[in-house]
Amino acid sequence: MKRTRLLNSELSYEISRIGHTASITLCDAGLPIPSGVKRIDLAIEQGYPSFLRTLDALVSEMMVEEIVVASEIHQRNPETFQGMMDVFQRHEMKPVVTEISHEEFKRLTCESEVIVRTGECTPYANVILKSGVVF
């Protein structure tokens, strides 16, 4: 059995295969997922698994150099934004934060290698994680 924190084999595999600047989108239960982009659906019920808990597990295996969020998060869900920043700080990462409109965010998800859907049901709990390098 795998010893590291992230046990989901499909998610762990996707993290292991992406290269520098490739992206993974982590989203709430409501974000539309474009056809043609691989989906890993972790949602079990409303709120489970949570966005922040899933982000924390994902970041335990992924180096992130940039994140993309919808600018609306600051008005509609500032707690989740602060929670994201806390997760990165715990993992000793300081990614560049790029803010775009929610509409542009949805368009940009088409470029992700994979979209990971959580059971989160709070507004704008979505992030595009751009892969960094460990050296």
pLDDT in tens, 74-107: 999 999 999 999 999 999 999 999 999 999 999 9
Q: Which residues define the annotated binding site?
A: 28, 102, 124-126
Residue 4 in this model has a pLDDT that exceeds 90: no
pLDDT confidence bin for 2, thresholds 50/70/90: confident
- pLDDT tens readout for residues 9-51: 999 999 999 999 999 999 999 999 999 999 999 999 999 999 9
What rounded mean pLDDT belongs to the chain?
96
**Token couple for 6:** 């992230």
Q: What is the 3-state secondary structure (H, E, C) of the chain?
A: CCCCCCCCHHHHHHHHHCCCCCEEEEECCCCCCCCCCEEEECCCECCECCHHHHHHHHHCCCCEEEEEEECCHHHHCHHHHHHHHHHHHHCCCCCEEEEECHHHHHHHHHHCCEEEECCCCCCCCCEEEEECCCC
Residues contributing to the annotated binding site for substrate: 28, 102, 124-126
Q: Fold for domain 21-131?
A: RbsD-like fold (3.40.1650)
* Model pLDDT, residue 47: 97
Q: Which of 20, 38, 94, 107 is catalytic?
A: 20
20 has catalytic annotation: yes
- pLDDT reported for residue 96: 98
